[in-house]
Amino acid sequence: DAGITQSPRHKVTETGTPVTLRCHQTENHRYMYWYRQDPGHGLRLIHYSYGVKDTDKGEVSDGYSVSRSKTEDFLLTLESATSSQTSVYFCAIRQGEFEATEAFFGQGTRLTVV
């Protein structure tokens, strides 16, 4: 199994509070992704990173920010959590972007905003 872990696995937070989710990999893969998964929508890309300090927005980036200060860690921050951000969040890694390589996923973080 690919070495990718997410923390926390579950979190309940209040509306308006900041929240940070962590993704840690031991594979030294260059590309890292944050997705959210909601019923009926499949996986939607929030942000991705193609190297240390190199990140870009996905299709649902509003209200989220990311940081990657080390190859192995990719952080997702909800600046001020809203109920619409209640979701399951998955981190994924890929060895190379401009290659046909599969993505490996972390176990997910279930976030509830109350």
Partner 1 sequence: GQNIDQPTEMTATEGAIVQINCTYQTSGFNGLFWYQQHAGEAPTFLSYNVLDGLEEKGRFSSFLSRSKGYSYLLLKELQMKDSASYLCAVLDSNYQLIWGAGTKLIIKP
Closer Cβ to partner 1, 14 or 98, answer by number = 98
Where do the H-state alpha helices sit in 1-114? none
Closest distance of CB 108 from partner 1, Å: 6
In whole angstroms, what is the distance from residue 13 CA to residue 44 CA? 22
- Pairing type for strands 10-13 and 109-113 reads parallel
Question: What gap in Å lies between CA 57 and CA 38, rounded to an integer?
Answer: 19
**Where does this chain bind partner 1 (CB under 8 A)?**
40-45, 90, 97-100, 102-108
- Taking the least distance from each CB to partner 1, the nearer of 103 and 111 is 103
State in angstroms the smallest separation of the CB of 62 from partner 1: 18
